[in-house]
Amino acid sequence: RIVRALTAPGRPAVGPGGPDALAYPLAMAYVGLGDRDAAFRWLARARVMRAPMVAVTVDPGFRTLHSDARWTELLIGLGLPGARASGK
């Protein structure tokens, strides 16, 4: 409910940049909720917003996403073409 409330249409900005500024932690929240699709959508937004994502490959919160083909696509989009799907 918290994630949905933060991202609800018409909600006042959460801070500078609105919910997009929270894209990385929102992605983590969706992983915790088991919603991989939403997690990848927020990770994509974080990448577009150029949010700091230097630890994404080693962040244990995202470990459950490593087996998904979208994980490799995300890493390549971040300029990590040698990164493997396992995040190692």
Cα gap 81→21, rounded to integer Å: 25
Q: How far is CA 66 from the centre of its chain?
A: 12
How high is the pLDDT of residue 87? Answer: 45
CB 35 within 8 A of CB 19: no
Q: Is the pTM of this model over 0.75?
A: no
Q: What is the pLDDT along the chain (88 residues), one digit of tens a residue?
A: 556 655 566 554 445 555 567 888 889 999 999 999 999 999 998 888 877 777 788 889 999 999 999 998 988 888 875 565 444 4
